[in-house]
Chains A and B, each alone.
Chain A
Amino acid sequence: MAPAQVDFVPLIPTIVVTVTALAVLLLGLWLRGEQGIWLAAVSIAGLVAALVFLLGLAGPAVSERRAAFDGMIVADNLSTFFGAVALVIAILTILLSEHVLLIERFSQGEYYALVLLTTVGMLVLTAATDLIVLILGLEILSISLYVLTGFARGRLGSEEAALKYFLLGAFALGFLVYGSALVYGATGTTTFGQIANVLRAPGASSPLLLIGLGLLLVGFGFKLSFVPFHMWTPDVYEGAPSAVTGFMAVGTKAAVFGSLLRILTEAFPALRAEWAAVLWLLAILTMILGNFAAIAQRNVKRMLAYSSIAQAGYIVLAVIAADPLGRAGVMFYVLAYTFMNLGAFAVVVAVADRGDVGTTLDHYVGLARRSPILALAMGVFMLSLAGVPPTAGFMAKLFVFTAAVRAGYVDLAIIGVLTSAVATFYYLRVIVAMYMSAPAEEPAPAPALRVPGPLLALLVIALVATFGLGIFPAVTGDLVGGTLALAK
């Protein structure tokens, strides 16, 4: 056996973020309170540096694959795209959290370090081309998120959510690990490319392998909140501090969808019929249940939890299509979802107030008067989530539905269209609350809401991106290193 091929270059962004995390953790011992802004600055600097390395790594030839560590890690257009999205999400999350950390007196060094470590997990996950590295990345991601979920120490909801998330997450990890073991047992390898090679031989499919694939899909289904593995989502989303919920909702989706897309197309192309059939079922359940359950919610965070379940259902359509259009669809949807959903959570954070108390629909009544900018932004994000043009959400839906239709899944597209019509109702309800209903009795007019600077920056970025992706999707695609046009 030849000595392991060591190439640290594809890992540079990951290393940069890791080092930044450690530095922030240390600096957090000295910088407290108002000085915490420097921690945010250092974190963002680290993330930007990683982004520069990542995109520089991609260089002029994005489509060139660069495998390292005996094919356990890869730098290619997929890892570049999802890695860049992960880094952008982390940057936006820091903007999202800065103010909350101050008013809640959270330990800022630890918080930023955990956000950065979660990002490390995402980077590893999206670059992983080996089952073991995949699990490693997923666990770095998950464990950091468990801690972040329970970050509001002393708040019962937060602690309960963290424990639930942890226990169920561990349970789901079991499926993933066992599935990987079975796949290894059936193929004798854990590397994606070699699994695909083994499966290319006729008669390579075996019960062991199919069970392994099924268990892997359960694990992914849990992380992506597909119905029926979704039940933790509303509780955890509601209980976690709002900023963490926003981070979790978009971060996990981006990284895990990237990884799912990779493992299915790189390791199991031979079993396409099988995994597509399973995802077909999950997609239908997820779209229908996610959307209908969201209608019944009065708590905006809970509603957004079900909405994120439903949105994941739409992204699956593009995963199932698995052709170039489908790959581009997953990427575009994840990018659009990142901005519109993080934007929505930015508003949630701004409205929620100390202790995350103001998250029900009632707290949004008359928001247009208290803060026109927040109401306007929330309105745009809701419309985008509902898929109204000219926002990113419309193009994203068009993209994934068209991909599904072209791949022959007209049934899925029809269910998607119908359920997104249902979805209009609950997204619209937030707008109605903000703009329409004047507070029933006005003892004292609610005070105007002041939007802190970093949050405002996040809102502006999210708004520009939501419209930009909706109006110039092609141009934006080119900006992201031409990755959208990749389509192999």
Chain B
Amino acid sequence: MGDSVGLALLFPFLGFLFNALLSRAFPRGLSGIVASLAVGLSFVVALTTFLALSALPGSQQFHAVTLWTWLVAGDLNVRIGLLVDPLSSLMLLVVTGVGFLIHVYAIASMHGDPGERRFFAYLNLFVLAMLVLVLADNFVLLMAGWNGVGLSSYLLIAFWFERDEAARAGVKAFVVNAIGDVGLLLAAFLIFVSYRTLDYDQVFKAAGAGGAVLTAISLLLLLAAVAKSAQLPLYVWLPDAMAGPTPVSALIHAATMVTAGVYLIARTHPIYTQSPEALGIVATIGALTALFAATVGLVKPNIKRVLAYSTVSQLGYMFLGVGVGAFGAGLFHLTTHAFFKALLFLAAGGAIHALGGEEDMRKMGGLRARLPLVYWTFVVGALALAGFPLFSGFWSKDEIITATFAGPRANPTLGVVALVTALLTAFYIFRAVFLTFHGKPHHHLSLSEHFHAPGPVMTVPLVILAGFAVVAGYVQVLGGSFGHFLQPVFNRYGPHEVAVALNPGLLAASATLSVVGIVLAYVVYGGDQALARRLGYQFAWLHQLLLNDYYIEDLYRLVIVRPVLAVAGFVGETFDRVVVDGAVGGVVAMVRYSGAALTIVQTGNLRGYGLGILTGAVVILAYLSYLGGWGG
């Protein structure tokens, strides 16, 4: 087995080729069907791989598949090699499964868009890159996938490039992700320098010996993970990324790509577990981000932005989970989150679609009657997200909270932060429920015949996802088979996985917080919202602070963006033109040399350039003489 896993890559690749090159010869509607079919076939491969793998005993669940040798030069040996193990097969399943449903949904929601073919080409490209990322068995291929998902994410955010907002959001995402890419690249260099290999297996084996370099590697990997998973302080691109089409927000910016950071930390756990400091930082960043994004999510008026901040916040939970060494719990939450967050986005997309593109919740309201199915599926997603008892998010979130309080790397302070965040989460998501679906209809389309009620192509994926959002949690509870399945991965290079039994007290506490949050949301937003207005007025400063993300973006503009542009301008213009030019005073040979020419050439630059060469030459000679140890 395992050899067939290459097919999971082949199908999206073929789908991409078809949509990018051939689809113009066919009716436009075909591109979505082909794209969905491609991902659907990948899903079948993923499912068979998963089933075959889980039938094997733990020690035999690791299969390396080498497709071809990429590059051999000296001791740099890079293979296109895939690793099939429980972790990658789980990710494969999530990406293709959720991906398939979102592709199907997109057939309807993108119908009639002039860029439909381009859209599905990008979407297939994304799935391909994401699968490369999770299946890679070495850091170079990982980087290729890592950059690939960044690129396709950028293309899809800026999909409606005529809109200025979308274009700007695309660039922002690309630049922030480039910062993360630098981290990954530097980490890879450091690994190569230290271990002379970039293969996971050899690196992880060598990492067992410990060493200070592992902390440096972990921190560089963390930089990459933080950028890709939109954690503090690099979260800024994700809320803006909502400018892309809704299926993109659901697939890339909620369910899959943004979880790559969590995957990276889980995958490189043999490195992280050697550095308790780095893991501590991971946990702290996660908890702070969870709290920060949840507070900001309390006030945002745009429904997709609320969901985006919610994603940032939930990714914070996952970071917290892997940060306290509960890698299985982190991935469990990653999986349930993929289902319920994709569901929330797609249901929100149904409401947005129905109102002709309206995303401001203040202008929605009262949609429950017209969109009952969308409403109920959204509520299911909201309950799962809020950690309402017995829904999937309840189990997975609690496993993280339990590990934070009771695991061997426990940190009760962060645990309290996680509990507070749970309360806020329930509040902000039910604020969205009440604003969007309850109360009086505010939108002129809500009652007109131009109202676009979603058809079955959109609603069937919603129902399926809603089903998973409810039951996905029980996979773990019934016999703990989820953690059990991943255990061989996290114990392969030493016993790294922490198994913590759920604590009834904590379960009760978080269930209570969840219910309290929902009730509070109902009190404030369930009625005529007079209370909401009064609170907003009374705490105007707080409201403004949250609405502006604690002014973090303004801070970045002030201390990073402007100085960089200023330095660039200085180097480009001032240094090359003014400094060198102005320094032309008593130039030696060059003056005579070019004197005659200067009457023809309408600029004095030439002398400056000559002086530059001369200065450089003098510096080099002085430097060489210093190295030679003579004359100075």
Contact = CB atoms under 8 A, between A and B. Distances in A.
Contact of A231 (B68, B70, B161, B609): B609
B612 A163 contact: no
B606 A168 contact: yes
A428 B580 CA distance: 29
A198 interface: no
Contact of B151 (A175, A218, A325, A383): A383
Contacts of B144: 389-390, 394
Nearest to B621: A214
B73 A324 contact: yes
A213 B74 CA distance: 29
Given A389-B148, A402-B189, A432-B171, A473 B601 contact: no
A289 B75 CA distance: 32
B601 A163 contact: yes
Interface in B553-578: 564-565, 567-569, 571-573, 575-576
Q: Is the interface of A mostly helix, strand, loop or mixed?
A: helix
Given A164-B601, A281-B623, A218 B175 contact: no
A414 B193 CA distance: 13
A487 B74 contact: yes
A242 B151 CA distance: 29
Given A231-B608, A389-B147, A417-B185, A278 B624 contact: yes
Interface string B158-178: 100110101100110011001
Contacts of A438: 162
Nearest to A474: B71
Interface string B123-142: 00000000000000000100
Interface stretch (B203-211, B337-345, B590-598): B590-598
A383 to B, nearest CB: 7
A292 interface: yes
B24 to A, nearest CB: 11
Given A277-B623, A402-B189, A388 B158 contact: no
A347 B498 CA distance: 56
Nearest to A166: B597
B52 interface: no
Contacts of B185: 401, 417
B60 interface: no
Given A168-B606, A228-B615, A207 B625 contact: yes
Contacts of A485: 72-73
B606 A164 contact: yes
Contact of B612 (A211, A229, A293, A436): A229
A446 interface: no
Interface stretch (A3-11, A22-30, A136-144, A405-413): A405-413
Nearest to B626: A277
A294 interface: yes
A399 B601 CA distance: 42
Interface in A200-226: 205, 207, 210-211, 213-215, 217-218, 221-222
Interface in A284-323: 289, 292-297, 306, 323
B603 to A, nearest CB: 8
B208 to A, nearest CB: 23
Contacts of B178: 421, 424
A487 B77 CA distance: 14
A103 interface: no
A398 interface: yes
A436 B605 CA distance: 36
A5 B554 CA distance: 73
Secondary structure at chain B's binding surface: helix, strand, loop or mixed? helix
Nearest to A368: B161
Contacts of A235: 605
A167 B185 CA distance: 42
Interface in A408-448: 410, 413-414, 417-418, 421-422, 424-425, 428, 432, 435-438
A164 B608 CA distance: 11
Contact of A228 (B171, B175, B567, B612): B612
B75 to A, nearest CB: 8
Interface residues of B, number: 72
Given A402-B76, A417-B186, A421-B181, A207 B630 contact: yes
A167 B592 CA distance: 12
Contact of A435 (B158, B175, B569): B158
B151 A388 contact: yes
B179 interface: yes
B622 to A, nearest CB: 9
A218 B617 contact: yes
A175 to B, nearest CB: 6
A274 B72 CA distance: 30
B59 interface: no
A70 interface: no
Interface residues of A, number: 78
A73 interface: no
Contact of B72 (A210, A221, A417, A474): A474
Contacts of B627: 210, 273-274, 277
B587 to A, nearest CB: 12
Contact of A297 (B70, B572, B580, B594): B572
A184 interface: no
B193 A231 contact: no
B617 A390 contact: no
A232 interface: yes
A328 interface: yes
Contacts of A294: 572
Interface in A129-173: 156, 160, 163-164, 167-168, 171-172
A164 B576 CA distance: 16
24 contacts: A160-B602, A163-B600, A164-B606, A164-B609, A168-B613, A175-B613, A213-B624, A214-B624, A215-B621, A228-B616, A231-B613, A273-B627, A296-B571, A325-B75, A383-B151, A389-B144, A389-B148, A394-B147, A399-B71, A402-B189, A402-B192, A405-B189, A410-B189, A436-B171
The 6 closest A-B pairs by CB, nearest first: A296-B572, A436-B167, A295-B568, A325-B74, A231-B609, A228-B616
Given A328-B73, A425-B175, 12 more contacts: A210-B625, A229-B613, A292-B572, A293-B572, A295-B568, A295-B572, A325-B75, A389-B143, A406-B74, A406-B192, A436-B166, A436-B171
Interface of A: 156, 160, 163-164, 167-168, 171-172, 175, 205, 207, 210-211, 213-215, 217-218, 221-222, 228-229, 231-232, 234-235, 273-274, 277-278, 281, 289, 292-297, 306, 323-325, 328-329, 383, 388-390, 394-395, 398-399, 401-403, 405-406, 410, 413-414, 417-418, 421-422, 424-425, 428, 432, 435-438, 472-474, 484-485, 487
Interface of B: 68-76, 140, 143-144, 147-148, 151, 158, 161-162, 164, 166-167, 170-171, 174-175, 178-179, 181-182, 185-186, 189, 192-193, 564-565, 567-569, 571-573, 575-576, 580, 590, 593-594, 597, 600-603, 605-606, 608-610, 612-613, 615-617, 620-621, 623-625, 627-628, 630-631
